Amino acid sequence: MWTHQAATSDPRLPLHRGTLSLSRLLSVVWPPVHFNAVGGRLLLSPTMRALFPGSFDPVTQGHQDVLRRAALLFDEVVVCVMFNANKTGRFTIPERLDRLRAAATDLGNVTVDSHTGGLMVDYCRRTGIDVVIRGIRGVTDLDYEMPMARMNHELAGVETFFIAADPALAHISSTLVTAMSRQDRVPSADVSELLPVGGCGSEGS
Kindly give the pairing relationship between strand 131-136 and strand 159-164.
Answer: parallel
Question: Using an 8 Å Cβ cutoff, are 58 and 195 in contact?
Answer: yes
Residue 202 annotated in ligand binding:
no
Q: Which of 24, 125, 137, 153 is catalytic?
A: 137
Residue 173 annotated in ligand binding:
yes
How far is Cα 52 from Cα 79, in angstroms, rounded to an integer?
Answer: 5
174 catalytic? Reply is yes
Residue 171 annotated in ligand binding:
yes
Q: What is the DSSP letter of 144?
A: H
Residue 170 annotated in ligand binding:
yes
Q: Which of 96, 99, 174, 181 is catalytic?
A: 174
Residue 87 annotated in ligand binding:
yes
87 catalytic? Reply is yes
- In this structure, the dihedral spanned by the alpha carbons of residues 141, 171, 188 and 198, taken in order and rounded to 10 degrees, is -80
Residue 4 annotated in ligand binding:
no
Residue 137 annotated in ligand binding:
yes
Q: Which of 49, 63, 99, 115 is catalytic?
A: 63
| Neighbour-count burial of 196, counting CB atoms closer than 10 A to its CB (0-12 exposed, 13-18 middle, 19+ buried) | buried
Q: Which of 87, 126, 150, 182 is catalytic?
A: 87
Give catalytic residue positions.
Answer: 63, 87, 137, 174
Q: Which residues are annotated as a binding site for ATP?
A: 55-56, 63, 135-137, 145, 169-175
